[in-house]
Structures are given as C-alpha cells and as structure tokens.
Structure 1
C-alpha cells in the first residue's frame, strides 16, 4: 500500500473575492476559485445558459438527415455502447426520436462477440434486425473509429450518422455526418460532453429543424428537458470532466429526480439500490445506479439495462432493475475473487523497481478485468493491466492508469517498438484496452514496463491528495455541509477535501473494518469515520477529510469523512 502525499490547491484570493462580492458564500467562493471558476455566471444552472447546439460542428446537417428520414418514414437503428453512458445515450435517442415521429429501434454489441463499436460484424447483425433492414444507422457513444464498419454499412445500402465523444484517429469514417465535440473541425467550447450529452444535443437540434420546417410551432415539440435524468446519469457514470456545461446538465437532471420527475427505470434503480431519489446526488449516480447498469454490459447483454431505461411500465422497470441488481451482486462476487487472485499474483512477481502492474489468469471474466486493474492501480499507484482469456489463443486486457502515465501513449510506444505484438488497442490517458496472442504475454509485460519507464523516466510514483487547506471553524456547520452536498462534484471538479490537525479523544473499530473517531480541534469536537481502514491512529494526527451530514434516527449532525490520516509532523 502506498502512502499519499498531501498537497494544498493553489488559492486564488482575488478571484475568490470577486465571487464572494457576487453573492457566493465565502467558503464556496474560495473552493470555486481554486477549481478555475472565474465568474458567478458559471454557477447559474438554468437551461438558458446551456451552450447552444449550433456550435457543434455538423449538428445541423445531422439534424436535417434525421428530419428527412422521419418525413420519409425510414427505419432507423441506434447502435449503442455497452456501458452506462452508451445505455443512457441509447435511451435518450430512442425516446426523443420516437417522440418526434421516428421509426427507431436499437442494437447493442456484445462485448464478448462483436467487440466495441460499429464493426462489420455489427453491420451483419443490423441487416438481420427483426424489424427489417434499417435505412439509417445512428451510433451513440461510439463510431468515431469505425472506419471498416461504416464502409460495410455503406456497401449494403445503410447510411450511417455518427454521434460520439471519443478522440478521433488520423482517419475519419465516411459517414453522412459526424457529431463529436472532439472532431478536429469542431469549435464547441466544451470538449467534455459524454456520449449521452452529444445525442441530447443532436435531439435539441432536430427539434429546432422540425420547428423550422413547420412540423412544430416556434416553441413547440416534445419537452426534451424531460430526458435530463438520463443525461445526468450517463454523464456522471462516464466520469467525464464536469466543466460548467456538464455541471448544468447534471444539476438539471438531479433537480428533476428530487422533484419526482423521473423515468420509472431510474426510479426503480434508486429503489433496488436503497437510495432516495428525493435526496439524489452525483454520488448516487456514479456509485449506486451506474454500476448496476454497467453490470449488464460486463456480464451479459446491455440491452437489459437499455430496456430498463426505456420502459414506462413501473412493474416491468422494477423487475428489470432487480435483475440488474442481482447481476451487480454477481459482478461484485466475481470481482472479489479475481482481485484476491490478482493480489497473490502480484505479491509473487512484482519487483520493487517495477513501474507497472500486469496480471493474467486464464479463468478470469473478460467483463471484469477492468475493475481488477482499477483496484490494483489504487493499491500500488502504478499503471495496471489485467488480462483474461478470449478466443483462439488470444487474451484481452483492460488497463487503468495514474496521472503521471498516459496509458494509450504507452501502448502506442509498445506497438511501434514491437510491431504485431499488440493485435489491437485503444483508449485514452487513464483507461485502455488491448488484445494479444497468449504466447506473447511475457514479452508484452516487459515491453510495457520499458515503455512506461522510458516515457516517464521513473519507476516509482506517489499518489497525491489535493486538499483545500484548513477548514475555518466557523464553516464547520450543518448549513455549510448542506451547501457542499447540493453542489455537483466529480471528475475535473473534485469534492472539497480539507486538511487540519486534530487530537483523537476516542477511536474504535466498526465491524473490524471501519475506524470510528472522536476528534478535537481548537476546543471543538467532531465525529469522524475512516471507511475500510482498520488500524488505530496516534493521538495527534493530521487528517484530510470531507465535511458531510450524518443522518441517524431522524437526527442530522456533522460528520467528517476521512480520506487519509497520519501522525502530525
């Protein structure tokens, strides 16, 4: 286990003062300024402040193609992805298109059979669709890399419209239109839209196009803000950076959930997760609902998750949510076993001077190796890859990285140094996937280690906990904890972590797993808990913590959630 280094974020006093002068709470002003917020307008979350759809390149052309397809009663088929972002994007697309008169269905690839995205194999499945051959394929959360798949679709008379948010390669597919904020010709101010955000924007543009054609009056048509709960779920679950535009989308979705304006599939997911949608927050979406949707794509077929999000039947939604919950329990059991086996492998083979972690077991589940890699990355704080057996002598790996190592660049270097060693790879800085011949695993492990050390010049990396410094005692209140809870925090906009010295007055273990603490600072007493930590602490400690509200027996009190604690220097 590595020991993190505590680091204080840089304060921006002048900007903090400006935000405070604009009416923002003093502590919030300090926190927001440290996260790059420059104007109180960035915190206004009304729909009027959403970046206009017309700023997305090719969105107008894509909307025109869809409007023509609706007018001509063409069959559309959405090609989804097998994660929560892809599932919610599919649900947004299907719901919005049907509300505007489209004939549309969906198809989601099976990660174990056809691989990722619009592949030629998926085109073959589309041709055999029960509703008949589609006229138009619409990708959501995938497609930017589907050169061969688009060629295959075009060859059999199916046109393709791509909506995606992933980074493009050197070559782009020959599609009718490509709507992607990361398209090289796109000047959209937010490059951080999730796949569900991109299709939502296209649906806004389509409604505007239908208004221009007189299908709807100038302010008429379906209420697309009713899809905000789906957009929020996919955006948070995909861990995209929460810039001001994404925070607006997520906040609007959470507010609808809290008001009870929620699709029954999402309501059912809250129910099986034991969460209250009236108190919905980003943590619920990322750690309670998202994993249950993702379990379908990891273990079986993501169409189960999509059907849960599409049904308007409360009873069916609950039944599907219960199936997803059971799958998630199975996933957790599989992951736990695999993680224990991975630990044994690492302890046997990992040298102290290694910059990377690679593990492989022929009996592991392909859909769960990414989660194992994530847990190994957190424990050893090194880029980590976990592999499982695929078919015909191949193994498939999934990796997670740390901020110091761009994982896709490392794999790209291996691919260039050892042509043919990696059969296929893709991903981005923090996560990637690849496939190898099983016989080449040992060669790859050494090549990957060399690549990471060459790119970084290091074999040891230290995790850093960025903190917001000391919490002023006058702000350690229920009111402030409530303000923090209402804000949307997440990737690129991290939840506040404070850092102070305390005296421990009492400490005890709960279930031999969690450390319960009574702390004192400047004459004030605080209850605190350090989850999944079972080692007692010295009397004088420096603590990195989050300020939270604890509800128990109808009483609400302040509680500190410990992120890390160490003896005072």
Structure 2
C-alpha cells in the first residue's frame, strides 16, 4: 500500500478577495479561488452563461442534416455506448429528437458480442433493426474511431452522423458530419464535454435550426432544459473535468432533481439507491445512480438502462430500476471476488519494483475488469491494466491511470514500437481499453512497462492528496457543511479536503471495517469516520478530511470524513 503525500493547494488571495467582495462566503471564496475561479460569473449557473452551440464545430451542419431528415421523415437510429454516459446520451437524443418530430429508435452494442462503437457488426444489426432499416445512423459517445463501421454503413446504403467526445486517431471516419470538441480544428472553449453534453449541444443547435426554418417561433419549441437531469448524470458518471461549463450544466440538472423535476427513471433510481433527491449531489450521481446504470452494460445489455431513462411510466421505471439494482448487487459480488484474485496476482508480480500493474485471469468477467483495474490503481498508485478472456485466442483489457501517466499515449507508444502487438485500443489519459492475443500477454506486459518508464522517466509514483489547509473553527458548522454539499465538485474541481492535527480521544470499529472517531483540537471535540479503515490510529494524528453533514434519527450534525491520517510528526 502506498502512502500519500499531503500537499497544500496554493491560495489565490487576489481572486479570493474579489469573490468575497462579490458576496461569496469567506471560506467558499478561498476554496473557489484556489480552484481557478476568478470571477463570480464562473459560478453563476444561469443558462445564459453556457458556451453557445454555435461555437461547436459542425454543430450547425449537423443540425441542418437532422432538420432535413426530419422533414423527409427519414428513419434515424441512435448507436449508443454501453456506459452511463452513452446511455444518458442516447436518452437525451431520443427524447429531444422525438419531441422535434423525428422518427428515431436506438441500438446499443453488446460489449461481449459486437465490441465498442459503430463496428461493421453493429451496422449489420442496424440493417435488421425491428423498426426498419434506418436512413441515418447517429452515434453518441462513440464513432470518432469507427472508420470501418462508417464505411460499412455507406456500403449498406446508410448515412452516418458522428457525435463523440473521445480523442481522435490519425484518421477520421467519412461521416456526413462529426460533432466532437476534440476533433482537429474545433475551437470550442471547453474540451471537456461528455458524450451526453455533445448530443445535448447538437439538440440545442437543431432546435435553433428549426426555429430559423419557421417550424417553431422564436424562443418556442421543446424545452430542452428539462433534459438537464440526464446531462448532469452522464457528465458526472463519465468523470470528465468539471470546468465552468460542465459545472453549470450539472448544477442545472441537480436543481431540477432537488425540485422533483426529473425523468421517471432517475426518480426510481434514487429510490432503489436509498438516496433523497431533495438533497441530490454530484456524489449521488457518480456513486449511486451512475453505477446502477453501468451495471446493465457491464453484466448484460445496456438497453435495460436506456429504457429506464426514456420511459415516462412510473411503474415501468420502478420495475427497470429494481432490475438494475439486482444487477448492481451481482456486479459488486463479482467485482469483490475478482479484486481479491487480482490483488494476489499483483502481489506475485511484485509491483513495488515496476512502474505498472497488469493482471489477467481467464475466468474473469469482461464487464468488471475496469473496476478491478481502478481498485488496483488506487492500491498501488500505478497505471493498471486488467484483462479477461475475449474472442477466440484474444484477451481484452481495461485500464486506469494516474495523473503522471497518459494511458492512451502509453498504449500508442507500445503500438508503434511493437506493430501488431495491440490488435486495437482506444481511450484517453485516465482510462483506456485494448485487445491483444492471449499468447502475447507476457510480451505486452514488458512492452507496457517499458513505454511508461520511457514516457515518465520513472518507475515509482507517489500519490498526492491536495488539501485546502486548515479549517478555521468558525467554519465547522452545519451551515457551512450544507454550503459545501450544494456546490458541484468532481473531476478537475475536487471537493475540499482540509488538513489539521488532532488528538484521538476515542476510536472504535463499526462492522469491523469502518473506524469511528472522536477527535480533539484546541479544546474542541469533533465526530469523525474513516470508511474502510479497519486498524486503529495513534493518539496524535495529522488528518486530511472533508466536512460533512451527518443525519441520524432526524438530527443533523457535523462530521469529518477522514481521507487519510498519519502519526503527527
């Protein structure tokens, strides 16, 4: 187990003062300024502050194509992806397009049969779709790498519109239009839109086009802001960086949830997860709702998750959410077993002497290897790949990385140094997937190790916990804890973690796996808990912790959530 290094985030005094003068709470001003906020407009979640769709390359051209297709009554088919971002993107596309008169259905690849994205195999399925052969395929959260799939669609007499957010390769597909903020030449100010964000932007552009054509009067047409709950869920679940534009969208979505204005499926998911939508937070989206949608894509067919998000029938939503809950429980059980095996395999591989961790088991479940890679990455703090059996003679890997290592770049270097070793790969800095021949596993492990060491010049990495320094006593109260909870935190905009010295007055284990603490600082006492910590602490500690609200039997109190603690030096 690696030991984190605590490091204080630099304070930005000038920006902090400006925010205070604009009326922002003292502590919030300090926290926001240290995360790059310099102006109150950057935290104003009004729709008027959203980057306009006109800045997204080819969004207008794609909107024209869609408007023409609607006018002709063309059949459209959305090609989705099998994660939460892909599912929410599909739901946004379906709901918006249908509200604007489109004839549209969806198809989601099965990760165990047709693989990721618009492959030739998926094109064959599209041709035989129960709703009829489509005229236009619309990819959501995929397609930027679907060179062969787009060509196959053309050969079959179908056009393709690509919407995606993943990084492109050297070649782009020959689609009618490509809407992707990360494609070459796109000057959209935010490169961090999730797949659901991209299709949402395209739907805004389509509504604008229909207004221009006189289909709707100015400022009329479907109220696309009613889809903000779905956009928020997909954005948070995909762990894209929460820049100002993404925070705006997520905040709008959370506000709708807190007011009870959400899709039936989301309401049902809150119910089965035991979470209160009136207190909805980004944490709920990332750790309660998102995993339940993802469970369908990991273990079975993401169509189940998509149907949950597109139904308006409360009973059907409740039934589908219940199925997703059962799948999520199965996923947890499978993951736990795989993780224990993976930890044993990793220890045998002696990761302390290498820059990477790779594990493989022929009986592992393909849908869960990404989660196992994530857990191992956290334990060893190294870029990690976990492999499961794929097609005949092949194995499929899913990887998670650390800030020091761009995972896709490392795989790209392997593919260049060892042509043919990687059959296919894709992804981004922090997560990626790949397929190799099983017989080449050991060769790949060594090649991956060499690539990471070459790119970084290191074989050892230290996790850093960035903290916001000491938490002043006057800010340790329920009001401030509530303020922090209401703010949108996440990737690229991390939740506040404070750092202080404490005397441990009392400590005991709950259920043999959580450490409950009573801490003292300068004569004041605080309740704290360290989840998944099963060993006791020394009397004097330095702790990194979050300020939280604890609700119990109708009472609300302040509680510290311990992220890390060590003996006070």
What pairs with 1:311-330 in structure 2 (closer than 5 Å)?
Answer: 311-330=311-330
Distance 1:548 1:74 in 2: 52
* 1:270 matches 2:270: yes
Moved more, 412-421 or 144-153: 412-421
Q: Secondary structure at the match of 2:440?
A: helix
Distance 2:409 2:167 in 1: 13
Other-structure match for 1:185:
185
Q: Kindly state the Cα deviation for residue 194 of structure 1 after the two structures are TM-superposed.
A: 0.5
Other-structure match for 1:521:
521
Distance 2:8 2:414 in 1: 36
Equivalent pairs, count: 569
Q: Secondary structure at the match of 1:214?
A: coil
Other-structure match for 1:490:
490
What pairs with 1:138-157 in structure 2 (closer than 5 Å)?
Answer: 138-157=138-157
Q: Kindly state the Cα deviation for residue 392 of structure 1 after the two structures are TM-superposed.
A: 1.1
Moved more, 243-252 or 454-463: 454-463
Distance 2:306 2:453 in 1: 42
Q: Kindly state the Cα deviation for residue 535 of structure 1 after the two structures are TM-superposed.
A: 1.1
Other-structure match for 1:559:
559
Other-structure match for 2:255:
255
* 1:429 matches 2:429: yes
Distance 1:219 1:388 in 2: 51
CA change 1:51–1:542 in 2 (3 A) is same
Other-structure match for 1:66:
66
Q: Secondary structure at the match of 1:123?
A: helix
Q: What are the superposed Cα offsets for residues 103-143 of structure 1, whole Å, 9 maximum, x if unpaired?
A: 00000011111111111111111111111110111110011
Q: What are the superposed Cα offsets for residues 499-554 of structure 1, whole Å, 9 maximum, x if unpaired?
A: 00111111111111111111111221110000000111111110100000111111
Q: Secondary structure at the match of 1:260?
A: coil
Q: Kindly state the Cα deviation for residue 477 of structure 1 after the two structures are TM-superposed.
A: 1.2
* 1:174 matches 2:174: yes
Distance 2:74 2:311 in 1: 23
What pairs with 1:239-254 in structure 2 (closer than 5 Å)?
Answer: 239-254=239-254
Other-structure match for 1:281:
281
Q: What are the superposed Cα offsets for residues 355-385 of structure 1, whole Å, 9 maximum, x if unpaired?
A: 1111111001111111111100000111111
Other-structure match for 1:292:
292
Q: What are the superposed Cα offsets for residues 391-422 of structure 1, whole Å, 9 maximum, x if unpaired?
A: 21111111111111111111122212222111
Distance 2:348 2:168 in 1: 39
**What is the alpha-carbon root mean square deviation over aligned residues?**
0.9
Distance 1:403 1:351 in 2: 18
Q: Kindly state the Cα deviation for residue 185 of structure 1 after the two structures are TM-superposed.
A: 1.6
Distance 2:364 2:192 in 1: 33
The answer to whether the 8 Å contact 2:139/2:161 transfers is yes
Q: Secondary structure at the match of 1:173?
A: coil
Q: Kindly state the Cα deviation for residue 184 of structure 1 after the two structures are TM-superposed.
A: 1.2
Distance 1:295 1:351 in 2: 29
Q: Secondary structure at the match of 1:96?
A: helix
Q: Kindly state the Cα deviation for residue 169 of structure 1 after the two structures are TM-superposed.
A: 1.4
Distance 1:355 1:39 in 2: 40
Other-structure match for 1:228:
228
Q: Secondary structure at the match of 1:35?
A: coil
Q: What are the superposed Cα offsets for residues 307-354 of structure 1, whole Å, 9 maximum, x if unpaired?
A: 000111111111111111111111111000101111111222225311
Q: Kindly state the Cα deviation for residue 52 of structure 1 after the two structures are TM-superposed.
A: 0.9
Other-structure match for 1:533:
533
Q: Kindly state the Cα deviation for residue 156 of structure 1 after the two structures are TM-superposed.
A: 1.9
Q: Secondary structure at the match of 1:492?
A: coil
Moved over 4 A (4+): none
Q: Secondary structure at the match of 2:326?
A: helix
Q: Secondary structure at the match of 1:544?
A: strand
Q: Kindly state the Cα deviation for residue 265 of structure 1 after the two structures are TM-superposed.
A: 0.5
Q: Kindly state the Cα deviation for residue 83 of structure 1 after the two structures are TM-superposed.
A: 0.3
Q: Secondary structure at the match of 1:192?
A: coil
Distance 1:8 1:217 in 2: 53
Q: What are the superposed Cα offsets for residues 283-330 of structure 1, whole Å, 9 maximum, x if unpaired?
A: 010000000000111111100000000111111111111111111111
Distance 1:243 1:330 in 2: 34
Other-structure match for 1:349:
349
Distance 2:464 2:32 in 1: 20
Distance 1:389 1:568 in 2: 47
Q: Kindly state the Cα deviation for residue 562 of structure 1 after the two structures are TM-superposed.
A: 0.3
Other-structure match for 1:99:
99
Other-structure match for 1:2:
2
Other-structure match for 1:375:
375
Distance 1:256 1:229 in 2: 7
Q: Secondary structure at the match of 1:352?
A: helix
Q: What are the superposed Cα offsets for residues 261-289 of structure 1, whole Å, 9 maximum, x if unpaired?
A: 11101101111111111111100100000
Other-structure match for 1:463:
463
Other-structure match for 1:159:
159
* 1:208 matches 2:208: yes
Other-structure match for 1:512:
512
Distance 2:17 2:236 in 1: 30
Q: Secondary structure at the match of 1:161?
A: strand
* 1:397 matches 2:394: no
Q: Secondary structure at the match of 1:515?
A: strand
Distance 2:68 2:413 in 1: 45
Distance 2:408 2:198 in 1: 23
